[in-house]
A and B are shown apart, each in its own frame.
Chain A
Amino acid sequence: MAGGAEILKLVAQRIALGILLLFAVSVLIFLGTEILPGDVAQSILGQAATPQALENLRRELGLDQPAVVRYFSWLGGVLTGDLGTALSNRLDIATAIGPRLKNTLFLAFWAAVVSVPLAILLGLLAVRYRNGPIDKMISGTALASTSLPEFFIGYVLIYFFAVKLNWFPSFSTVYEGMPFLDRMRAIALPATVLTLVVLAHMMRMTRAAILNIMQSAYIETAELKGLSQFDIIRRHAFPNAIAPIVNVVMLNLAFLVVGVVVVEVIFVYPGMGQYLVDHVARRDVPVVQAVGLIFAAVYIGLNLVADIVAILANPRLRHPR
């Protein structure tokens, strides 16, 4: 392949762009907690705070220093794995995040394991029986489920499967050293909600991507030269469908990362989302900045992977301009 170096250069450029974006995002997240009427100390302690308490908190947060200095010391900390300490309980943020990040990834992983193959399969079915009852049903439920809030699906599932039927626990408590099967039973409902939330979108996009390929001229050519349906899909449709499908999957995994915040609160699951929401309510700015940055980094990372796969798999993208 002659374009090998070319592809490598494109991928390297895309990665560099992603890193640049991540820095810009860290600035934005930092500024998001800066540009305020008054200052952070005032909004944390409220109007009734004594001047002495305000002064102490300001010094502790480093608010007596200019924003640029604070940003770089924060960034330097983040890059060396030091996320600072939480204001509310004086605990090291990085140690508090560790197990929670693992829990969230565990939940997201199983939701992805179920939803990705299911969505691709249903998307293929919808294309195979295009405009038939299956296709119509899939499109209909897709429309409905993009309008359903996560907590509606969540509480309906809890109401029927946890309270009425008592099949699953209604709170997804997990702890260190929990047996695998118990853990799976605990995350069954939240993983189902996450699956339902991303499934419809992923299915619809997969359907569109495959439909797009099946209607292109080279598929028609392959049909006309008498290839069997199986060979058409194996030799012509599938290699071209990989890139759009991987793209769809990555975009939806990024979507899942956000959905996890609300779902964890519904099921009182000890993950990153719950941690973020708790500390937003307590106005614990260092924690919010750290967790916000991690969520944004995962989101940007998944989008980056989607783009790189698209570059690797799509011959047209190998020669831009």
Chain B
Amino acid sequence: MIAIPGLGRIPVGALIGLFFTSLFLFAAVFAPWIAPYPGSQIIGGVWEPRSAAHWLGTDNLGRDLLSRMIYGARITVFIAAAATALAFSLGAILGFAAAVVGGWFDTIMSRFVDLLMSIPTLIFGLVVLSVLPSTIPVLIMVMGLLDSTRVYRLSRAVAADINVMDFVEAAKLRGEGRRWIIFREILPNALSPLVSELGLRFIYAVLFLSALSFLGLGVQPPDSDWGGMVRENKEGIVFGIAAALIPAGAIAALAISVNLVADWILTRTTSLKGGRGG
């Protein structure tokens, strides 16, 4: 239970972060209703400047940039959120299980995660994507699996601490099974550090996806996330056309605002520690 009393006490940074995060989320959810034009329809000349009809101008093929930004928000946020969700469920369950079960399971899992983390994520992602097709489910799977290693390490460390506490001992003595221990004893108590990690992992997923799409190996045309839009419009930069900077800036704005919100939640939950939070 996370209560947010006294809305007036939110720091300015967090307010800005909340504003932009909700703006992007709103754009992502309601894209078809708020976008002025269809995302992939050519409606004007190439790289038209900003005008009343096209607030952000048009892109490299003459599509409305604002509409593509709005649809791009949808794809970017959806894939990043799905990958984060996968990373969290997988990483947390395996991490908790490793801490509770211990023994050979813990050793094998932990060494394998060490091995995966010894290769830079982007490089291993590229190696795998050289043979897999860059479809959205594949991207979500690859990003989620690679990122679950970090969640695994955190959850295992947190769960190992909780696992030796008295109430877990009591539950074990009562004869509860492992499933009960993991979901009813450890999970509720590990939630607060995991939630603050959630924001960071989401940012990481957004940046990872954007990098892949920018390299041409992420979301494939005609769909485009923001990283892909940077790629589409990058040739214009040399002619002084700043269209590519708009999606690039949007990625930066999304990452910074989620960061600000996550920071604020982190300080709030740590200041609540020792009270009756959770």
- Contact residues of A with B, CB < 8 Å? 21, 24-25, 28-29, 32-33, 36, 40, 43-44, 143-144, 146-152, 155-156, 158-159, 162-164, 170, 254, 257-258, 261-262, 265-266, 276-277, 279-281, 283-285, 288-289, 292, 295-296, 299-300, 303
Q: Which residues of B contact A164 (CB under 8 A)?
A: 240
CA distance A148 to B234 in the complex (A): 17
Instruction: Name 22 A/B residue pairs within 8 A (Cβ), A-sorted.
Output: A21-B115, A25-B118, A32-B124, A32-B128, A33-B127, A40-B131, A43-B131, A146-B259, A149-B251, A151-B210, A152-B245, A152-B251, A170-B237, A257-B120, A262-B215, A266-B234, A283-B130, A283-B131, A285-B130, A299-B118, A299-B120, A299-B123
Name the CB-closest residue of B to A299: B120
Query: What's the tally of chain B residues with a CB closer than 8 Å to chain A?
Result: 43
- Contact residues of B with A, CB < 8 Å? 115-116, 118-124, 126-133, 203, 207, 210-211, 214-217, 227, 230, 234, 237-240, 242, 244-245, 248-249, 251-252, 255-256, 259, 263
Please determine whether B122 and A261 come into contact, CB atoms closer than 8 angstroms. Answer: yes
Please determine whether A21 and B118 come into contact, CB atoms closer than 8 angstroms. Answer: yes
Please determine whether A150 and B130 come into contact, CB atoms closer than 8 angstroms. Answer: no
Q: Is the interface of B mostly helix, strand, loop or mixed?
A: helix
CA distance A147 to B128 in the complex (A): 25
Name the CB-closest residue of B to A140: B13
Q: Which residues of B contact A283 (CB under 8 A)?
A: 130-131
Please determine whether A144 and B214 come into contact, CB atoms closer than 8 angstroms. Answer: no
Please determine whether B215 and A147 come into contact, CB atoms closer than 8 angstroms. Answer: no
Known: A151-B214, A156-B245, A292-B124. Is A33-B118 also a contact (CB below 8 A)?
A: no
Please determine whether A300 and B259 come into contact, CB atoms closer than 8 angstroms. Answer: no
Candidates A24, A44, A150, A299; contact of B115 at CB < 8 Å: A24
Please determine whether A150 and B256 come into contact, CB atoms closer than 8 angstroms. Answer: no
Q: Is the interface of A mostly helix, strand, loop or mixed?
A: helix
Name the CB-closest residue of B to A38: B131
Q: Which residues of B contact A295 (CB under 8 A)?
A: 120, 123
Q: Which residues of B contact A43 (CB under 8 A)?
A: 131-133
Task: Add 20 more A-B contacts to A156-B248, A292-B123 (CB < 8 A).
Answer: A21-B115, A25-B115, A28-B124, A29-B124, A32-B127, A32-B131, A36-B132, A143-B259, A148-B252, A149-B211, A152-B252, A159-B242, A159-B245, A162-B238, A163-B240, A258-B120, A258-B122, A292-B127, A296-B118, A299-B123
Known: A277-B215, A299-B120. Is A292-B230 also a contact (CB below 8 A)?
A: no
CA distance A299 to B124 in the complex (A): 12
A233 to chain B minimum Cβ distance, whole angstroms, is 32
Total A-B Cβ pairs within 8 A: 145
CA distance A147 to B204 in the complex (A): 8
Please determine whether A276 and B255 come into contact, CB atoms closer than 8 angstroms. Answer: no
Please determine whether A292 and B115 come into contact, CB atoms closer than 8 angstroms. Answer: no
Q: Which residues of B contact A277 (CB under 8 A)?
A: 126, 215-217
B150 to chain A minimum Cβ distance, whole angstroms, is 15
Please determine whether A288 and B126 come into contact, CB atoms closer than 8 angstroms. Answer: yes
Please determine whether B230 and A159 come into contact, CB atoms closer than 8 angstroms. Answer: no
Please determine whether B116 and A261 come into contact, CB atoms closer than 8 angstroms. Answer: no
CA distance A106 to B227 in the complex (A): 28
Q: Which residues of A contact B238 (CB under 8 A)?
A: 158, 162-163, 170
Known: A158-B237, A303-B118. Is A265-B130 also a contact (CB below 8 A)?
A: no
CA distance A149 to B256 in the complex (A): 11
B268 to chain A minimum Cβ distance, whole angstroms, is 17
Name the CB-closest residue of B to A255: B120
Q: Which residues of A contact B242 (CB under 8 A)?
A: 159
Please determine whether A147 and B255 come into contact, CB atoms closer than 8 angstroms. Answer: yes
Known: A33-B127, A277-B126, A280-B126. Is A155-B230 also a contact (CB below 8 A)?
A: yes
Q: Which residues of A contact B116 (CB under 8 A)?
A: 28
Nearest 5 Cβ contacts at the A-B interface: A147-B255, A152-B248, A288-B130, A258-B120, A292-B127
Please determine whether B120 and A296 come into contact, CB atoms closer than 8 angstroms. Answer: yes
Q: Which residues of A contact B120 (CB under 8 A)?
A: 254, 257-258, 295-296, 299
Please determine whether A149 and B210 come into contact, CB atoms closer than 8 angstroms. Answer: yes
Please determine whether B126 and A147 come into contact, CB atoms closer than 8 angstroms. Answer: no
CA distance A288 to B124 in the complex (A): 10
CA distance A283 to B245 in the complex (A): 29
Q: Which residues of A contact B244 (CB under 8 A)?
A: 155
Please determine whether B126 and A265 come into contact, CB atoms closer than 8 angstroms. Answer: no
Please determine whether B127 and A288 come into contact, CB atoms closer than 8 angstroms. Answer: yes
CA distance A60 to B99 in the complex (A): 46
Q: Which residues of B contact A150 (CB under 8 A)?
A: 211
Please determine whether A261 and B237 come into contact, CB atoms closer than 8 angstroms. Answer: no
Please determine whether B122 and A148 come into contact, CB atoms closer than 8 angstroms. Answer: no
CA distance A224 to B58 in the complex (A): 68
B225 to chain A minimum Cβ distance, whole angstroms, is 12
Please determine whether B115 and A28 come into contact, CB atoms closer than 8 angstroms. Answer: yes
Most chain-A CB neighbours within 10 Å: which of B130, B207, B227, B256? B130
Q: Which residues of A contact B240 (CB under 8 A)?
A: 159, 163-164
Please determine whether B245 and A280 come into contact, CB atoms closer than 8 angstroms. Answer: no
CA distance A277 to B211 in the complex (A): 11
Candidates B122, B127, B211, B252; contact of A29 at CB < 8 Å: B127
CA distance A159 to B233 in the complex (A): 13
Q: Which residues of A contact B118 (CB under 8 A)?
A: 21, 25, 296, 299-300, 303
B151 to chain A minimum Cβ distance, whole angstroms, is 18
B205 to chain A minimum Cβ distance, whole angstroms, is 12
Most chain-B CB neighbours within 10 Å: which of A155, A281, A283? A155
CA distance A261 to B127 in the complex (A): 13
